[in-house]
Structure 1
């Protein structure tokens, strides 16, 4: 990959919003728990700032028309997630400039953000480390959302318009109102190919798309059978029963996978102390 390749994104695409502010804050805070002492020093006392800035990439979309495609990847454009090239230049060549930009770039953005965090640690720049961590957490979280991996991201092709927001924002807000949730993070070694992880995550998340859509169809059918207009108590009770645990699992994985990449970046930079 040539340096700066991702900066060549020249075409706007419809934006998506994964998790919303609540989810991105939760996963950012979760990722900063139980860090090794040397790494924890970089964030001590400023965890709230990381959580605040984890929402920045969604804010950028208001002023940057190139930001939207950085949050998703339409797997079908490549023939499925397993067929997506790891090299963005190969992907660009396969789809052409316009097709590449429309199809999204989140796996490559995660790579770029992880490498930027390595450089921030190497530079000993705490402010940059905090921001790089926050922004990395955002894109990692985006890729754990099933509907960020498919062209029909909002169910319009299946007659399920609005499923995107119902699953990742509305359902999460309902769960939080009932029982505040905090991801339980258990740091793990990311393995010999940490920058290849986004492609594994892509396949995994894409494999859950039909499950999410099926749960929505089932809940809608139950609501209709009960004579319930719109999305009321019958719909939400069943949708929560079918997808509540799955949503919390994806949010926990978002935090887990963020901390795995943060730990990798710190180790790749030589495990520097914060010098505070």
Structure 2
């Protein structure tokens, strides 16, 4: 088995499931007509939540928008890096940022794009930027998106990226608490908000790496991995047993980060709308939701409050 390649999801982030779920939860946290507008376009938001990852396969400039390798920016970079893109370019150079990632700065840029779309009242642009902004905010909550050792490749833990953000959530989501009392809140300082998320995610790295090492010591290579054949080539991926053991050691860490990302997505969407002057969005969905759509929204909100979204089959499948 030593000669087999480890299956990783190098183009992914949070996995499609959690990106879609976080977008969905964020919609439930919005107020009034803003919530109605977003819910009326929920299918679009769900479908396009992972779009930025797909774009990485076609656009060579897309990758660094999803991460930030803090080690490359000097000691204590999570606390010492500038708040704005312009200051960061002046301090490190644009080439450095393009090489080692700049997700917090791209979040702020996308927030400005969404604000402009709200001001223009352009439905297609609003939805486009809302979907992408949410994606980048969610990526900022993934610990491995803050490290140069993003896949455990430097510590003999290759494949850790997909284990943490995709394999475990897809196995454990039915056990997650996907209910929160958070309501979309205006961000007086969006830069501080996204950097707070980056710092929290980065602080989780010791457990992300350490717990995998601890669990590995309890497994043999045969029980840690399973082999698969694709197009005549053998690969190895984590067994369900190993993923569950890793999840148990991490406790509610991944669940907590998923909820935190949904909360901040709602906050960024709401902040962009407020900064645009709180435009009336009702005209963008005919002034009123259909009776069927209104009933659907109320059922979804009830399931959200009761933490029965998975049980009620309201979490969109991957």
TM-score with structure 1 setting the length: 0.87
2:209 to 204, 208, 213: 213
* Alpha-carbon distance between aligned partners in 2 of 1:271 and 1:102, rounded to the nearest angstrom: 37
- Look up the SS of the partner of 2:59 in the other structure: coil
| 1:251 aligned partner | 258
- Once the 2 structures are TM-superposed, how far is the Cα of residue 165 of structure 1 from its aligned partner? 0.6
* Alpha-carbon distance between aligned partners in 2 of 1:134 and 1:263, rounded to the nearest angstrom: 13
- Once the 2 structures are TM-superposed, how far is the Cα of residue 234 of structure 1 from its aligned partner? 4.6
- Once the 2 structures are TM-superposed, how far is the Cα of residue 185 of structure 1 from its aligned partner? 5.7
Q: Over the residues paired in the alignment, what is the CA RMSD in angstroms?
A: 2.2
2:132 to 111, 132, 135: 135
| 1:93 aligned partner | 90
Contact 1:75 1:81 in 2 (8 A): yes
Contact 1:16 1:72 in 2 (8 A): no
Gap change, CA 1:97 and 1:35, over 3 Å in 2:
closer
2:16 to 9, 14, 21: 21
Moved more, 80-89 or 209-218: 80-89
- Once the 2 structures are TM-superposed, how far is the Cα of residue 146 of structure 1 from its aligned partner? 0.3
By percentage of residues, which structure has more strand?
A: 2
Structure 1: state its 5+ residue gaps: 1-14
Contact 1:144 1:205 in 2 (8 A): yes
Superposed counterparts of 1:65-214, under 5 Å? 65-79=60-74, 80-176=77-173, 178-179=174-175, 182=178, 184=180, 186-214=182-210
Gap change, CA 1:147 and 1:183, over 3 Å in 2:
farther
Aligned positions, number:
261
- Rg bigger for which structure? 2
1:264 to 261, 266, 271: 271
Moved more, 196-205 or 183-192: 183-192
Contact 2:152 2:161 in 1 (8 A): yes
TM-score with structure 2 setting the length: 0.76
* Alpha-carbon distance between aligned partners in 2 of 1:234 and 1:40, rounded to the nearest angstrom: 39
Structure 2: state its 5+ residue gaps: 1-9, 226-237, 287-318
* Alpha-carbon distance between aligned partners in 2 of 1:25 and 1:233, rounded to the nearest angstrom: 22
